[in-house]
């Protein structure tokens, strides 16, 4: 199942039914779970001293799209899906069903929860902590240095079910709390309270998230978003959501 | 004219005098017009169920630069030119002489007119409609979801001769009307009237476009821009512009 | 030292102990200094008429990471280091120990000083002039056209020891003077005075840089940053800094 033009180290530990595309390179210190697809032109397990010898672990049933580079020393649970040209550096630890969009750049030394969806061109700085069911939209940057350049690294924390919209920057050490929404093109320099919408440069509280109504049904709140958005989540998750948020609204 | 290291499906329909570079991959469901150049490391016709079986069509006399990925199911008329590492997903439909800059990311399900120039790192969300002679500068994002994440998609409309400057975000459902200018680093949350300049976060009307004077000739307005900028447009277009806007100013 | 899958022109002038990775392409008009590493999937010396026949020169002891594209006609002194998928166009001239981050896009016709560090996804427009010891963080854009599109190119100037934080745009013709700091997500439309912090959209003066204190030591100013940040600079530079700024603070 590996393309004849791929270059696969004999030391790499590769599961059953793994597909490796044209011209892709799998380095030595790599563990790939069963049923995973690696597209073409990828580099999987790019060597780095900073891995401290830890392998790159890709969970089963994952799909890494073409031209992506994953460094040695990171770990991902099952069902990882990426876009094209993703870069992921050492000591990134991702939960189940993580999606990483085209051109996204994960700088390493970060913890990402389960069912997180990062869209295209998302930049996750070192020491970020991202919870479960978080959405991060294009060109968002999670920063870490309060007075660049320095050796002080204050990572950003983004908690469960939060949403960060396009082109927003979260400043070092900030916490975006549960079920909150950062509007597009915002600069967030204060912690975002649970369930609130912040917008602007610098970002200010606009309203509670549940005061935002769905455009196609103005009787219903758009948040918490799991009440109406369920595409590609497994039944087990939807069942959990129904117990938390009630039945699906239309 | 295909490099010996390229991988070209025998099912792909490839015109006369087409050049295919080192290590590039041409998939099955692809139609490439005459005299087109595909650089190295490209993937042309990346398979996707979402194409509904439609082919990728690249018009004649096009040039796709290296490391680009075009999905099956999109169509481009003649003279397409791209930078490097462009991503174009299914159901993108581009007019003649489209330019797509390095690292740009077209998400699919969108209509792009004739003679549009997208610079580097432009993100075109699904359901965008871009007219003719539009300019879009680096790191601009056309969004579509009014309350992310949701199943509601309200695309952005950008009309003829408009210009969107660097790092601006256009919010879902917004129309940028003809001959308008969105200044750098703006967040556009209201329709932009014809011939007006908007700037800021959120963007506000600053002035009429034709009150902006050319720096090298303070007697003349910089807009409509076809009065002074004509690089790489064909004679037929310039003739049409002369009838619309008068002779070239210096 | 070249991988068997690389394609290296016999006309390229390649120094001693140069390593060329899998599938990389080295074109004709290229000079590579001793002890340099070119990773896989790179294109080095991408041909362009606009080079006027000038070669691409990469100084000794450099490291170009995978998937990068360097055009013919640019020059780099020793110890260039890049991230992945860097694009550098013709007539870019870089000093010693330049770092160019993943996905950065240098448009050419620009001058970059010594010991400059551009982080990920930095966009350097044509006619930019960047001094020595400058830091530029992710998604920063140096622009050049005061009324786009036009033939007028007013490059940005960034002077020694200045720092431009994430997602800021510098408008055409602006000078960012020595030892200044542009805060994140700023739009800079006026010259930045020496030693000042500017922030906002549009950016305004916030304070003097040396009134910003280090978080881990509130008695000490975080600027000039060479007083405390010295990672990966050579002894000769640190010695020079000690004579300029005094001994290292902790």
**Among A107, A34, A36, residue whose Cα is nearest residue A73:** A107
Give the pLDDT means over successive 10-residue stretches in chain C (250 positions): 96 98 98 98 98 98 98 98 98 98 98 98 98 98 98 97 98 98 98 98 98 86 96 96 92
| Rounded-to-integer distance, Cα C69 and Cα C41, Å | 9
Q: Place A153 in a pLDDT band, splitting at 50, 70 and 90.
A: very high
Distance CA A119, CA A117 (A): 6
DSSP summary character for residue A249? P
Vertex B240, ends B238 and B246: CA angle to 5°? 80
Mean pLDDT in residue range A218-245: 94
Q: Answer yes or no: do B25 and A40 touch at CB < 8 A.
A: yes
Q: How many CB pairs under 8 A join B and C?
A: 87
- Residue B125 is predicted with a pLDDT of 98
- pLDDT in the model for residue C217: 67
Best of A115, A163, A184, A198 to mutate (most B CBs within 10 Å, chain B): A184
With CA atoms as reference, report the closest residue to B68 among B101, B114, B112.
Answer: B101
Hey, which chains touch B, using 3+ CB pairs under 8 Å? A, C
CA distance A88 to chain B (A): 18
* Mean pLDDT, residues B20-47 taken together: 98
Give the closest of B67, B138, B225 to C141, CB-based: B138
- The span from the CA of B91 to the CA of B229, in Å, is 31
Write the pLDDT tens digit of every residue in B74-117: 999 999 999 999 999 999 999 999 999 999 999 999 999 999 99
Q: What own/partner pairs with CB < 8 Å and gap ≥ 24 does B97-106 have? A: B97/B233, B97/B234, B101/B138, B102/B65, B102/C87, B102/C105, B103/A103, B103/C87, B103/C103, B103/C105, B105/A102, B105/A103, B105/A120, B105/A121, B105/A138
Please measure the distance between the N-terminal and C-terminal CA atoms of chain C and give it in whole angstroms. 43
Q: Which of A176, A169, A212, A179 is nearest to A191 (CA)?
A: A176
Report the distance separating Cα B81 and Cα B37, nearest Å. Answer: 9
Q: What is the nearest CA distance from B185 to chain C, expressed in angstroms?
A: 7
Judging contacts by C-beta atoms under 8 Å, the chain A residues touching residue B121 are: 121
Place of tokens 């991702």: A94
How far apart CA C236 and CA C225 sit, in angstroms, is: 17
pLDDT at A128 over 90: yes
| Interchain CB contacts (distance < 8 Å): A and C | 87
CA dihedral A176, A180, A186, A189 (to 10 degrees): -30
Looking at residue A193, the DSSP 8-state letter turns out to be P
Q: What whole-number distance in Å separates Cα of residue B188 and Cα of residue A82?
A: 30
Q: Name every residue in C having a CB less than 8 A away from some CB of B.
A: 7, 23, 25, 41, 43, 46, 67, 69, 85, 87, 103, 105, 107, 121, 123, 139, 141, 143, 146-152, 154, 167, 169, 171, 187, 201
Given the structure tokens 């003679």, which residue do they identify? B115
Å from A123 to nearest chain B CA?
14
Q: What is the pLDDT of residue A55?
A: 98
Would you state the pLDDT for residue A1? 86
**What residues in C contact B116, CB-CB < 8 Å?**
none
Give the pLDDT of residue B1. 86
Segment B7-19 mean pLDDT: 98
Question: How would you class A85 by CB atoms within 10 Å of its CB: exposed for 0-12, middle for 13-18, buried for 19 or more?
Answer: buried
H or E stretch covering B236: helix B235-245
Q: What is the spatial distance between Cα C89 and Cα A207, in angstroms, rounded to a whole number? A: 46
- Rounded Cα–Cα distance for residues A220 and B186 (Å): 30
Look at residue C199 in the predicted model and tell me its pLDDT.
98
pLDDT at position C59 is 98
A128 and A153 Cβ atoms separated by less than 8 Å? no
Confidence of residue B137 (pLDDT cuts 50, 70, 90): very high
- The residue length of chain C stands at 250
For residue B13, the model assigns a pLDDT of 98
Strand partners, C8: C26
**ipTM exceeds 0.95, yes or no:** yes
pTM exceeds 0.95: yes
HSE-CB for B220 with a 13 A CA cutoff:
19
Distance CA(B200)–CA(C200), nearest Å, equals: 10
The chain C residue lying nearest A25, using CA atoms, is C22
Mean pLDDT of chain B: 97
Place of tokens 């680093």: B185
Instruction: Order the strands of the C157-158 sheet from edge to edge.
Output: C13-14, C30-32, C56-58, C75-76, C92-94, C110-112, C129-130, C157-158, C175-176
Query: In this structure, what are the phi and psi dihedrals at residue A15, rounded to the nearest 5 degrees?
Result: -70, -170
A106-112 mean pLDDT: 98
8 A C-beta contact, residue C162 and residue C134? yes
Q: How far apart are CA C145 and CA C173, in angstroms?
A: 9
Q: Which tens digits make up the pLDDT trace of A190-205? A: 999 999 999 999 999 9
Residues of A whose CB is below 8 A from C84: 69, 87
**Got the DSSP string for B12-47?**
SEE-TT-EE-TT-EE-SSEEE-TT-EE-TT-EEEE-
Query: Using CA atoms, how far apart are residues C130 and C2, in angstroms rounded to an integer?
Result: 34
3-state secondary structure chain C: CECCCCEECCCCEECCCCEECCCCEECCCEEECCCCEECCCCEEEECCHHHCCCCEEECCCCEECCCCEEECCCEECCCCEECCCCEECCCEEECCCCEECCCCEECCCEEECCCCEECCCCEECCCCEECCCCEECCCCEECCCCCCCCCCCCCCEECCCCEECCCCEECCCCEECCCCEECCCCEECCCECCCEEEEECCEEEEEEHHHCEECCEEEEECCCHHHCCCCCCCHHHHHHHHHHHCCCCC
Nearest by CB to residue C147, choosing from B22, B84, B212, is B212
CA B69/CA C25 separation, integer angstroms: 19
Q: Of A17, A42, A38, A14, which Cα lies nearest the Cα of A28?
A: A14
Q: Which residues of B touch A (CB under 8 A)?
A: 7, 23, 25, 41, 43, 46, 67, 69, 85, 87, 103, 105, 107, 121, 123, 139, 141, 143, 146-152, 154, 167, 169, 171, 187, 201
Confidence of residue B250 (pLDDT cuts 50, 70, 90): confident
C102 vs A25, A105, A141: nearest CB: A105
Q: How far is CA A96 from CA A34, A114, A227, A237, C105, in A?
A: 15, 5, 21, 12, 33
Here the tokens at position C188 are 């800079």
Cα separation, B90 vs B50, whole angstroms = 7
Q: Residue B72: is its pLDDT beyond 90? A: yes
Sign of CA dihedral C59, C84, A70, C24: negative
- Complete DSSP assignment for B90-133: TTEEE-TT-EE-TT-EE-SSEEE-TT-EE-TT-EE-TT-EE-SS
Quick one: pLDDT at residue C250?
75
- The beta-carbon neighbor of C201 closest among A25, A87, A201 is A201
Taking a C-beta distance cutoff of 8 angstroms, is the pair B219, B240 a contact?
Answer: no
Least CB-CB distance to C229: which of A69, A141, A150? A150
Tokens of C224: 């000039």
Q: How many helices and strands in chain A, by DSSP H and E?
A: 1, 32
Chain C residues contacting A via beta carbons under 8 Å? 5, 22-23, 40-41, 66-67, 83-85, 102-103, 117, 120-121, 135, 137-139, 163, 165-167, 184-185, 200-201, 212, 214-216, 222-223, 225, 228-229, 231
3-state helix vs strand vs coil in chain A, percent to 5? 10, 35, 60
pLDDT level of residue B128 (50, 70, 90 thresholds): very high
Q: What per-residue confidence (pLDDT) applies to B213? A: 95
pLDDT band at A49 (very low <50, low <70, confident <90, very high): very high
């Amino acid at each position: 199942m590996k393309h004849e033009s791929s270059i696969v180290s004999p030391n790499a530990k590769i599961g059953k039914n793994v597909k490796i595309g044209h011209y892709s390179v799998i380095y030595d210190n790599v563990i790939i779970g069963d049923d995973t697809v690696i597209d073409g032109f990828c580099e999987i397990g790019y060597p780095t001293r900073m891995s401290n010898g830890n392998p790159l672990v890709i969970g089963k049933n994952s799909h890494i799209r073409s031209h992506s580079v994953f460094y040695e020393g990171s770990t991902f649970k099952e069902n990882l899906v990426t876009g094209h040209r993703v870069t992921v550096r050492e000591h990134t630890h991702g939960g189940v069903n993580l999606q990483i969009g085209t051109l996204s750049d994960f700088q390493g030394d970060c913890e990402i929860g389960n069912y997180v969806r990062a869209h295209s061109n998302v930049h996750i700085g070192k020491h970020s902590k991202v919870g479960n069911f978080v959405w991060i939209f294009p060109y968002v940057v999670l920063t870490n240095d309060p007075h660049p350049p320095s050796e002080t690294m204050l990572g950003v924390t983004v908690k469960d079910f939060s949403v960060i919209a396009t082109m927003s920057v979260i400043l070092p050490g900030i916490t975006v709390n549960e079920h909150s929404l950062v509007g597009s093109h915002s600069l967030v320099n204060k912690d975002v309270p649970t369930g609130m919408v912040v917008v602007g440069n610098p970002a200010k509280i606009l309203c509670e998230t549940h005061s935002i109504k769905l455009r196609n049904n103005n009787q219903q709140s758009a948040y918490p978003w799991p009440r109406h958005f369920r595409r590609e989540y497994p039944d087990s998750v939807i069942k959990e959501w129904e117990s938390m948020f009630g039945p699906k609204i239309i």
